Amino acid sequence: MKMRGARILLEALRCEGVKHVFGYPGGAVLHIYDEIVQTSEELGITHYLVRHEQGSLFAAAGYSQATGKTGVALVTSGPGGTNAVTGIANAFMDSIPIVVFTGQVPTHLIGNDAFQEADLTGITRSCTKHNYLVKKVEDLAPTIKEAFYVASSGRPGPVLVDLPKDVTAQVCDFSYPETIELESYKPQVYGNPKQVRRAVQAMIEAERPVLYIGGGAIAAGAYDEVRQLAERLDLPTTCTLMGLGGFPANHPLSLGMLGMHGGYWTNMAVNNCDLLISIGARFDDRVTGKLSDFAVGAKFIHVDIDPSCIGKNVRCDFPVIGDAKTVGRQMLQELDAQLSDGVKIAPRDAWHEQIAEWRRQHPFSFKEDGDIIKPQQVIHELRRITGGKAYVSADVGQHQMWTAQLYGFDQPRQWLNSGGLGAMGYGFPAAIGAAVAHPDELCVAVVGDGGFQMSLNELATVRQYNIPVKILLINNGYLGMVRQWQEQFYEHRYSHSDMEVAPDFVRLAEAYGVTALRATRKDEVAHTLEKGLNLPGPVLIEMKVAREENVFPIVPAGAALKDMILA
């Protein structure tokens, strides 16, 4: 059937099973928005009007991270696209599958410095997995097919499709390709069996192993495989910031998060292990600290779908290229085979006891201070009231680390944060995405007063669609993490980290028509939080917390894990 490009785009989205789009209109995408108002309902696609293009990307990211589906964002040319760049870079760093459609000036004006023109494929080349400029309408459907395939397969990531205005007006026959194969792109899913065998043998023989789970395990849906590996091989298991929920926090084998703000016992276990088994993690500098002192006595197994991650930061003894779930299954089969040959798993009681001892020495802790609310207390209460079942997004900073340390994520895709890019402003719109995907679940955005002010414009979005996001604002009046570093590493010189002027957040939320509550004393926390979480629709809950609380432990930038500061 013949139809114009704008309609082809929507039909293609329907074919991809897309139900929700986060976007913002503008001149170059008017044909598309004209089609949305006429046909999106019939196609079962709901468009959410955000209040800033960056919000559309963060919402699409939260939507994708909370579901595993590919997120979709739609923005206009020029400033629409450039505003989206931070969100695209965030998805690139955290391997989130998103397809971003950007408007572009008509093909005959490209390169002419036309109104609202920006070279969006050029600008986003280094922060997308791939990008496309569609030059004629016949290419539109195949390009969209390819974009979704590339975004969601292999190591997932954002893909941008740039749509010149005239292409969305041109007419051609619509047929959507059913299958796709790219000569130049064939992700390796199945791990090399010889490598798997050697890796499993090492896992059986190790005396002090640690299993180290990253975001890749969540992306691959390897939760069951990871858990079985850990239980059957008796492996203490830690998760990266991106991997939280990839292994249940309440499991006896769980070590919690490792790295810069990881537990003392976790980092000690990693640093003293004789075998570190990494599944879908990439040995980021925030995880390893000083590389030359990182787990010096250990051998490394590294399972990753992205070959460029293996051997990038640490030497690898047993590289396995493949999908975390598939390789996990292979490992379990291989384990069966080796155990049936009479091989015995090395005893690890002493190792578990050692780790437990480290945990007893320095558990997470904070000091009470009269009536003042401590941010850690807020996160503990959040865990208690929600039973650990909520979808929780965080912005970037101290509150993010406290949430990561203390909430206790038992399920994958429950924890949303901007790990790699560390983009302030992420938390609130990401929770919008999660709440759109899971309208019947509790979705909480834990944000700081700094990051929230970078995206509080989305209060209008949650009001407009009555999206029941609960915003838990941890307000200390500082850019807390910046202040902490200035205190610890710059002799208390607080340079521009004090947010001297801030709005009255409760009245601000109310101005948007959003219900808001505030607690200022310790004894109000539980009650206020419980009340706010149980109100219908969007709610802002402000916690006025201790101004100068620090996140501990902390491994100073560039220092070894063992040199973490405990308090």
- Known catalytic residues? 53, 115-116, 165, 481
Minimal distance, residue 567 CB to another protein, in Å: 38
Candidates 27, 311, 513, 537; binder of another protein (CB under 8 A) is 311
Identified binder of another protein from the candidate list 68, 106, 221, 307, rule CB under 8 A: 307
CB of 193 to another protein, least distance (A): 6
CB of 518 to another protein, least distance (A): 45
Would you say 545 and 474 are in contact if contact means Cβ atoms under 8 Å apart? yes
DSSP letters spanning 200-219: HHHHHH-SSEEEEE-HHHHH
Long-range Cβ contact pairs of 482-486 (< 8 A, separation 24 or more):
482/397, 483/548, 484/398, 484/550, 484/551, 484/554
Enter the tokens of residue 255: 């070590």
Q: Is 122 in the site for another protein (CB under 8 A)?
A: yes
Is the Cβ–Cβ distance between 104 and 110 less than 8 Å?
yes
**Which residue among 17, 37, 115, 125 contacts another protein (CB under 8 A)?**
125
Q: Are 73 and 36 in contact (CB under 8 A)?
A: no
By beta-carbon proximity to another protein, the closer residue of 42 and 183 is 183
- How many other CB atoms sit within 10 Å of the CB of residue 64? 30
Contacting another protein (CB under 8 A), which of 292, 308, 340, 365? 308
Per rule CB under 8 A, count of chain residues that contact another protein: 19
Does 181 participate in binding another protein (rule CB under 8 A)?
A: no
The answer to whether residue 129 forms part of the interface with another protein (CB under 8 A) is yes
> Which residue, 130 or 286, has its beta carbon nearer to another protein?
130
> If binding is defined by CB under 8 A, does position 177 make contact with another protein?
no
The three-state (H, E, C) secondary structure of 159-198, written as one string? EEEEEEHHHHHCEEECCCCCCCCECCECCCCCCCHHHHHH
Look-up of token digits 């740039």 = 162
Tell me how far, at minimum, the Cβ of 120 lies from another protein, in Å. Answer: 12
Question: Is residue 337 near another protein by the rule CB under 8 A?
Answer: no
Q: Taking the complex as a whole, how short is the minimal distance between the CB of residue 367 and another protein, in angstroms?
A: 44
106 makes contact with another protein (CB under 8 A): no
* Interaction mask 363-392, another protein, x per CB under 8 A: ------------------------------
Which CB, 308 or 495, lies closer to another protein?
308
Cα dihedral across residues 199, 410, 455, 479: positive or negative:
negative
Q: Does 130 bind another protein (CB under 8 A)?
A: yes
Among 56, 86, 121, 267, binds another protein (CB under 8 A): 121
Q: Return the residues of window 185-214 that contact another protein according to CB under 8 A.
A: 185, 190, 193
- Residues forming beta bridges with residue 542, ordered by sequence position: 473, 518
Q: Report the residue from 139, 306, 498, 524 that binds another protein according to the rule CB under 8 A.
A: 306
Q: What are phi and psi of 371, to 5 degrees?
A: -85, -10
d(CA 357, CA 365): 16
- Interface with another protein by CB under 8 A: which range of 85-93, 183-191, 248-256, 421-429? 183-191
Nearest distance from C-beta of residue 5 to another protein, angstroms? 19
Chain center to CA of 562: 27
Cβ 223 to another protein, closest distance in Å? 21
- Applying CB under 8 A, the residues found at the interface with another protein are 121-122, 125-126, 129-130, 133, 150, 182-185, 190, 193, 306-308, 311-312
